[in-house]
Amino acid sequence: MARYTHLLTVAVPLGRLYEQVTDLLKSCNFEVLYLTEDYLIAREQPGKVPFPKLVTVEVLVDNTRATKDRTQLNFVIKNEELPLKSNNHCFQVYQQLNQALSENKGWSLVASVAGAEG
């Protein structure tokens, strides 16, 4: 299973956070499947790649550390594909999502730590 992570802190009012995250995911060809006040799951829309390569994104919102204007988010990007190559489909989607996260005009990026588990 390919799995990549991205931990970031963003400056955005908590009331606008979910709108920003869902809009960002939709712009990257994801559909939101599940949403609660501290968790969101989205999946890449089917049709372009085989089913095992479809990427799932889990977003965990750390409400315990959230302030009025800052929130910490943990993105987990994964699929069922064996990461036999370093530039696999999941990694390509991960890079696209990282770029969208850093360029999002709806928030200010305070801190960002990207990681890969392969």
Condensed to tens digits (0 to 9), the pLDDT of residues 47-101 reads 888 888 999 999 999 888 878 888 899 999 999 987 778 789 999 999 999 999 9
Confidence (pTM): 0.89
Sign of CA dihedral 20, 26, 27, 29: positive
Q: Find the helix packing angle between 14-27 and 89-103, rounded to 10°.
A: 140
Q: What dotted CATH number matches 2-116?
A: 3.30.310.220
Q: State what percent of residues in the chain have pLDDT above 70.
A: 97
- Name every residue whose Cβ is closer than 8 Å to that of residue 84 and which is 6 or more positions away in sequence: none
